[in-house]
Amino acid sequence: MNALAEGFLVFPDSPGGAMLFRQFSCTRAQFVTHASGRPWLAGHWEEGALTVAQAGSVRVAVSGLCPVSPERLAVLAGRIEKLSDADSLARALPGSVHLIVSVGGRVRVQGTVTGTRAVFTTALHGVSIAGDRADVLAALTRAEPDDELLAAKIAGPQFLTPLTERSWWRGVRRVAPDSYLALGGDTGAEVVRWWTAPEPNLPLAEGIPAVREALHTAVAARRPARGLLSADLSGGMDSTSLCFLAADHDADLLLFRWTDGTAINDDPAYAERAAGLLHRARQLELRSADIPRVFSPPYALPDTEAPASLVRGVHARWQSARLLAAEGSTVHLSGHGGDELFSGDAAYLWSLFRRDPIRALARLRAHRVLGRWPLLASVRGILASETFDAWWRRCADGLVDPSDTDAPVSWGPAPAATPWASSYAVGTCAGIYREVAVGIAPLADDRGQHAALSMLRSAASQYRQLCRNYAAAGLRWETPLVDDRVVEAVLAIRTSDRFDPWRFKPVLAEAMSGVAPDFILNRYTKGDYDGSVEADLRHHVRDLLELFSDSALASRGLIDGDRLREFLLRPPRGEYGAHLAALERTLGGELWLRAIEDRKTDSCWCLPSELEY
């Protein structure tokens, strides 16, 4: 494998770890040692992206943009005597980071609580190591891709946590976001849960100050050491709020926005109004006509960690990133994660009904009117006592016999399988759903809290992929809205205050009052891009047919090529848009398999060999 733009491996403080370090030796990577002198961290990282501190025999490393100096980190490291002592450090760090601790011959490795920064582990010659890239560990161990998980992604609509938190490579394991990995010499690895979401007990007014402070800190943490800070200005509440926060911290700000909209996509109009208030910021404007169409060739995604879920706009993202980098931007802010964190899910009504039935029924009526929910399904959903494991089993059954009458008060819908998935893929997916159901528990007792955590953790892998898309152009892509401290502050607020049928994103609107303009915070519309996406897809049907004429998915028995061709050429009336996400998952899986084949000719990850210990 070629040298990574960024990534690291973690070795235990042991003879076995030192042996593995020697086995994969090369002079091109950077490295850091344990206090013992044995190799600890190795990989490739940008200047300023790794902060290391030592206090006696304790070493602490923070990977990512974090406004904590080595001196301050050394003071915090001095309070650590065992791995669990690092809990307080992990709860205090701002930004979005990996935390790696070496103490007493043991190592702790963890990412973010949403999974935007992930940890993976595998064993070589009986010695466990860790890293932030599953495909790197897979290359070292010659692991094969997990075809069964791929079948579940292609065939099944419910690709949520915990499925999103599995490694795509056999023999490589993903550490849950709420846990850390403990490496204990040559004795193996242990996963330890250290984080739980706060109980959602705070009224809105009491929780807002902490959210506001966390947002300010998250944006301030992104000030680049060199180059410009840039930010998306979409006109939506999430990205626009970040732009106004960034303008408070950085006078040399570059705004990126689209200039053309439609009657159903009024985002650019709001962005233009907001841009007029950001007088000191410079703007980079782009028209949709100046970028490649959605789903346009060439079809290639070199990232091999996992199949991409956001394929449709990959060329637009690459072009945007290159333009921003050419303007001098080194760090770019995005509002991704705001929908998952602030929009919420009406499933909170189920739990609210059990605490305050009168209020819950009033809310349910409002949701029904606004969302056009069927009455019978809404009532049945709020009264149902279906457990989470039973819902997963119903999802397995629903692949063949779907239920389309569920209201969002339930754990979720149980829609049908992808129309062009093979019978093998559908059967495999159903089996995986049933495996998931065994012993599974919700992420929180409050169903609204569970839904929020599930959405955040399920979207995290997409955000990691987007980060690497931008990194290919030399740009660090950052999502401050899903920083650990921001997420914790929001999740502490009552779910019935966070999710309001009469108000859009009330928590963010209150937190940004006085920072972002009222016409943004009071906005009740959201840009609709589905029409343009469908039109662009129709324009590239022939290109997609050519791609899938020699399909890697079909050769593995995961899709029926004839049914996919029939869908692309003659989509069922009214169902074209409904299956866009399934088509995108299929395309992502196809390009992933092809990228893996291309990678096999270059599978050595290089580490330094000049270290004596």
pLDDT digit string (tens) for 321-354? 999 999 999 999 999 999 999 988 899 999 999 9
Distances (CA, A) of 94 to 141, 384, 481, 507: 34, 40, 12, 20
Distances (CA, A) of 165 to 162, 237, 445: 5, 29, 20
Where do you find CATH 3.40.50.620 in the chain?
204-342+453-529
| 120 contacts: CB under 8 Å, gap ≥ 6 | 130, 131, 132, 133, 134, 137, 167, 172, 173, 174, 175
Q: What is the DSSP letter of 340?
A: I
Predicted pLDDT of residue 334: 97
Taking the C-alpha atoms of residue 468 and residue 133, their distance in angstroms, rounded to an integer, is 11
Neighbours of 376 (CB within 10 A): 10
Distances (CA, A) of 299 to 113, 295, 472: 33, 8, 16
List, for the chain, all residue ranges whose pLDDT scores fall below the cut of 70: 1-5, 24-27, 251, 260-265, 402-407, 527-531, 573-578, 600-613
Predicted pLDDT of residue 376: 87
4: left (phi over 0), alpha (psi -120 to 50) or beta: beta
Where do you find CATH 3.60.20.10 in the chain?
7-144+169-193
Taking the C-alpha atoms of residue 547 and residue 536, their distance in angstroms, rounded to an integer, is 16
Predicted pLDDT of residue 613: 29
Measured between alpha carbons, how far apart are the two ends of the chain, in Å?
27
Predicted pLDDT of residue 606: 43
Predicted pLDDT of residue 7: 87
Predicted pLDDT of residue 405: 59
Q: Which CATH superfamily is domain 204-342+453-529 in?
A: HUPs (3.40.50.620)
Predicted pLDDT of residue 608: 38
Residues 486-525: pLDDT tens digits?
Answer: 999 999 999 999 998 989 999 999 999 999 999 999 987 7
Predicted pLDDT of residue 403: 63
Predicted pLDDT of residue 531: 60
CATH number of this structure's domain 7-144+169-193, picked from the four choices 3.30.43.10, 3.40.50.20, 3.60.20.10, 3.30.565.10? 3.60.20.10
